[in-house]
A = this chain, B = another copy of it.
Amino acid sequence: MSLTHDQCAALDQVDPFARHRALFDLPTGVIYLDGNSLGALPHAVKAAVAHCVETQWGRDLISSWNKAGWINLPARVGGLIAPLIGADSDEVIACDSTSVNLFKLAAAALKLRPDRKVIVTEAANFPSDLYVLQGLAQMVGDVSLRVVDAGELPAALSDDVALLLLTQTHYKTGHVHDMADLSARAHVVGALTLWDLSHSTGAMPVDLNGCEADLAVGCGYKFLNGGPGAPAYLYIAKRHHAAFRSPLTGWMGHADPFAFRDDYQGGVGVKQALSGTPSVLGMVALEAALGLFEGVDMAALRAKADRLGDLFLDLVEQRCGGMGFEVACPRTGRGSQVSLTHQSAYPIMQALIARGVIGDFRAPDILRFGMTPLYVGFADIWDAVEVLRGVMESGDWRDERFQVRGMVT
């Protein structure tokens, strides 16, 4: 598919998600292809956060726990996420960070399968997921991690496996695991599944219940646009609610948190997975951001993301051929991102950012571009590739200032 800039602009005219772009406060002069790392700011969030700070906190003070329903924010935000991931609203709750939620659910899974001591996961999984498992194994003592390449996952599922933990959409390559197939394989050997949906939710349809997934976690600040360090969420399939036990038993997860009893008694269902007091500012921002998904057809959204990604790869092939780029993501069955490799990936990304095209670099040699379909258009993609071509042709990525390694996220 080869398109001119005008043809891309015409596609934007008929894009059913064109109206969503206006719901975001996007800076001018920037093409933002990093919504898979930090989603852009929805206008609605500004008012919601200001109201929370100035009125709910400032005027109503402590009474806002009841009056503004702060106490119900974790369940309310979870209820907004549930339809995006194929879950019932009482199976999802917002709380803590993705890493803390992974720890809670992986530890609980070991208790649900007490005779099994193996956790299977993928090598080169999102690092924090691996770190959480390593810390858990060290703490528990008699648990071993079986870390294998993606292709070897089915063979790794033996009947000593308690849990299969996978990130559905790979953070670097955008490869998407077949959740239904791998969940079924895990269940055949009696293992549970725990899915990290951080790079899926909000970008593509996810069907936890349809795939008979057991447990899941995900991030609020990527495709859900909840803001930097937004609360994460977790999912527990209803069939596990009765036996589920969180190791992180804080007051918010108590059946009667305001009775201040000495003995812990877990709350009903997914609520027992709460621990301490959540960030109310973060919850309010995420709640407002989730409002943008109301009425969004997730299949159509993913179709647009696929078209954006295909266009990007086609245009790179056509306009940046022979410049040393290789495609590092699947051509089909991909998340809302594309990845290229280049031996000078780091300075090239810095030069792109200096010209207003914001993607990110992932070690050792990956340029990653998020195709956030709610606010990225087809003409943006054309323009971004044109800037990439300009960076390469001018050679200005060789400039010294682009070689300095800083922190990226």
Contact = CB atoms under 8 A, between A and B. Distances in A.
A105 B111 CA distance: 22
Interface stretch (A43-51, A80-88, A236-244): A43-51
Given A97-B250, A362-B260, A280 B228 contact: yes
Contact of A131 (B38, B250, B259, B360): B250
A247 B131 CA distance: 10
Given A107-B139, A131-B250, A278-B97, A262 B123 contact: yes
A292 interface: no
Interface in A84-126: 96-100, 103, 107, 111, 123-125
Contacts of A32: 61
Contacts of A41: 53-54, 57-58
Contact of A282 (B62, B136, B262, B279): B279
Interface string A243-287: 001111111111000111111100000000001111111110100
Interface in A121-165: 123-125, 127-128, 130-132, 134-136, 138-140, 147
A168 interface: no
A276 B27 CA distance: 28
Q: How many copies does the complex hold?
A: 2
A136 B247 contact: yes
A260 B58 contact: no
Contacts of A277: 97-99, 219, 221, 228-229
B247 A139 contact: yes
A65 interface: yes
Contacts of A111: 139
Given A34-B61, A46-B53, A124-B262, A99 B275 contact: yes
A253 B136 CA distance: 15
A409 B264 contact: no
Contacts of A38: 57, 61-62
Interface string A53-84: 11011111111111000110000000000000
A169 interface: no
A208 interface: no
Contacts of A14: none
B62 A262 contact: no
A37 interface: yes
B97 A258 contact: no
A249 B135 contact: yes
A25 interface: yes
A191 interface: no
Given A131-B253, A132-B248, A227-B280, 19 more contacts: A25-B54, A30-B61, A65-B407, A66-B408, A96-B96, A96-B97, A97-B276, A99-B248, A99-B251, A99-B252, A103-B247, A125-B262, A128-B250, A131-B249, A131-B250, A139-B140, A229-B280, A258-B409, A259-B363
